[in-house]
Chains A and B, each alone.
Chain A
Amino acid sequence: MNNFTVEANELTRLYGGREAVSNVSFTLSKGQVLGFLGPNGAGKSTTMKMLTGNLAPSNGSVKICGIDMMESPKEAKALIGYLPEMRPLYKELTVDEYLTIAARLHRVSAGSIKKAVEVAKERCGLGHMSKRLIENLSNGYQQRVGIAQAIIHNPMVVILDEPTVGLDPIQIRDIRALIREVGAERSVIISTHILPEVEMVCDHVQIIDKGKLVFNGAIDVLKKHRIGNKLLVGMHNSPSTDEMLKIDGVTEAENVSAGLMRVRFAEDAAPAESIVQAAVKNGWGLYQIAPDQTSLEDVFVQLTYQEQPVAEHTAA
């Protein structure tokens, strides 16, 4: 027995001959938070629908904690909490009524329903909204009700499709904390457009583009992509690139603009100090030296818009 909570095996979904998702395989273990990234229409939501049994895959299989979604859907679904992109809220009900129904449908035993509702409300900060009609709640609070509904039965796998959409910054912070908290003991899959969010919340990232998995690995790998071994050096009296190359560890130097130079260095070298010393000695007029970060957006664009094979990186 392995202890994977989610196993997706060669998931493929055809819509009238067009492959919305093709050959997506991945696994997720307990205590991991997986971030799903991708441009619009890449197949994020379709994949999530297949994982939760809302959509039958054309090919491939999904296993939740070893239980096949096709063969025994009821048992598999009992282990999942799902918040779809469109919040499935019955707006004519109050928060309490709705969460009670959610608990009941997810087989929370009759005796512990009240407690489950209280706990879910507390975790999502809904305590003072119990008797309000969902219809009258603000967008952000409705989103919280949606999340509360997904975690009410304390599922092994929580799948949230764009959970932080429409929330204010403080709410976003709360929800991210909640996701990390749930992710510590369970598995969480979230999809999002907000790239820094992935860095903050997830420890695993998948980038999906045109239905294909283009990146699948630990967040550290993505971060390395991003930071790279680059320095941005600003000088009033720029030396020539040749002079820069003479410094120990520097492998490459290029002029970005007048007075600004991008320096690449070898994997383990730390040339910053020697650059500063050289600058002082030669009077280059150093006024700025900083790591040159590619923004996460750039990495994302690189990965999704360059035709490149799936980069498989094993988890750290």
Chain B
Amino acid sequence: MIINVARKELKSMFASPMGWVILSLLMFSFGTYYLNGVNDYFAVMSGAMRPAERTGVTQFVGQMVYGFASFMVLFAVPLLSMRLISEERRSQTLPFLFSAPISLTEIVMGKFLGLVAFLSILVVFIGLMLSTLNIWADIDFGFIIANSIGLLLMIASFSALGLYFSSMTQQPVIAAILTFIALFALMFLDRFFAGDPSNMLASLSLTRHFQSFSGGLIDTGDIAYFLLFIITFLTLTVRRLDADRLRG
């Protein structure tokens, strides 16, 4: 049942030009970064004489592309997640889902997975793009896998938050703006506490938890953080929809 809701979401996303445009624009910008990265690598490495200054091509190009990608999804996710529930609320199509034999949790999970599945196309494409380096060099696939998992978790967390804000309003634009502001704050929370890195609030920052992935390290603590983040906002969304049914 969750799958059926997710399939419906995917279908709607590909039925409008919005999905295609965002995918192609993002892939174009990632591709540009990738090319620049490869060019820069030769420029930088030809100047680096000592072995300590030298880094692998995977890490050099990968860090550029994944760093940029984690920043770009900050804009892409709100644009895609804003419609998920608010649009249905505005065009009054929610009763279609509510009167079908599926629970609210299944509806929310389905919508969430639909969006994540759509965005994971990007993650897969970035992974494939970086793997093409293997034609010329012997690359570190572990690094790419760790980064892909990190990016996917980040995207999923963004989507969960976006879904929640989308369930709170009838106006997709408001949902997008709120999502963007919230994500922006969470991304750069650790910058505000740069002087005091042990601060509790700083450890709430999404970027901080992405850092270990971007270095090629899969840390269960960070995975747990992302999963908790996702579960929290999905639960809040279910509760918000349940309130609709109760309060009307």
Interface centre among A49, A84, A105 (most CB of B within 10 A): A105
Contact residues of A between 64 and 98, Cβ < 8 Å to B: 73-75, 77-78, 80, 82, 84, 86, 88-93, 97
* Inter-chain contacts of A56 with B (CB < 8 A): 245-246
Q: How far in angstroms is the closest Cβ of chain B from A144? A: 16
Q: Is A53 within 8 A of B11, CB to CB?
A: no
The reply to whether the CB of A247 lies closer than 8 angstroms to some CB of chain B is no
**Which chain B residues lie closer than 8 Å to A55 at the CB level?**
245, 248
**Chain A residues, Cβ within 8 Å of B5:** 105
Taking a contact as CB atoms under 8 Å apart, the answer to whether A105 and B93 are in contact is no
Count of chain B residues with Cβ under 8 Å from any Cβ of A? 25
CB distance from B110 to the nearest CB of A (A): 10
Q: How far is the CA of A149 from the CA of B94 in the complex (A)?
A: 14
B246 A86 Cβ-Cβ under 8 A = no
Name which residue of chain A comes closest to B93, CB basis: A88
Q: Are A84 and B4 in contact (CB under 8 A)?
A: no
Q: A80-B99, A92-B15 are in contact. List 11 more A-B contacts (CB 8 A).
A: A52-B99, A55-B248, A56-B246, A73-B103, A77-B99, A82-B99, A97-B15, A101-B8, A105-B8, A105-B97, A107-B101
The 8 Å CB contact of A82, one of B16, B93, B95, B102, is B95
Q: Mark B7-50, 1 if CB is under 8 A from A, else 0.
A: 11001100110000000000000000000000000000000000
Given contacts A56-B245, A92-B12, A92-B16, contact A106 B93 (CB under 8 A): no
Asked if A104 is at the interface (CB within 8 A of a chain B CB), the reply is yes
> How long is the Cα–Cα vector from A73 to B98 in the complex, in angstroms?
10
Q: Which of A46, A54, A90 interacts with B99 by CB under 8 Å?
A: A54
Closest to B248 in A: A55
CB distance B103 to A74 under 8 Å?
yes
B92 at the A interface (CB under 8 A):
yes
Q: Are A104 and B4 in contact (CB under 8 A)?
A: yes
Shortest beta-carbon distance from B247 to chain A in Å: 9
User: In the complex, which residue of chain B has the Cβ closest to the Cβ of A50?
Assistant: B248
B245 touches A89 (CB 8 A): no
Contacts of A97 in B (CB 8 A): 11, 15
Give me the interface of B with A, judged by CB distance under 8 Å.
Answer: 1, 4-5, 7-8, 11-12, 15-16, 91-103, 245-246, 248
Please report the C-alpha to C-alpha distance between residue A97 and residue B95 in the assembled complex, in whole angstroms: 18
Specify which chain A residues have a CB less than 8 angstroms from the CB of B98 in the assembled complex: 52-54
A13 at the interface (CB under 8 A from B): yes
A93-B12, A105-B5 as given contacts; A88 in contact with B100, CB under 8 Å: no
A13: chain B residues at CB < 8 Å are 248
Q: Which residues of the partner chain B approach A102 to less than 8 Å between Cβ atoms?
A: 96, 100
Judged by a CB distance under 8 angstroms, whether A15 is at the interface is: yes
Please give me the residue from chain B that is nearest to A76 by CB atom.
B101
Shortest distance from the beta carbon of B167 to any chain A beta carbon, whole Å: 16
Chain B residue nearest to A74 in the complex (CB): B101
Residues of A within 8 A of B99 (CB): 52-54, 77, 80, 82, 84
Contact (Cβ within 8 A) B92 A84: yes
Cα A102 to Cα B11 in complex, Å, equals 13
**Are B91 and A75 in contact, with the CB atoms below 8 A?**
no
Most B Cβ at <10 Å: residue of A88, A106, A107: A88
CA–CA, A106 and B51, complex, Å: 64
CB-CB < 8 A to A107: which residues of B? Answer: 1, 101
Residues of B within 8 A of A89 (CB): 93
Chain A 1-29, CB-CB to B under 8 Å as 1, else 0, gives: 00000000000010100000000000000
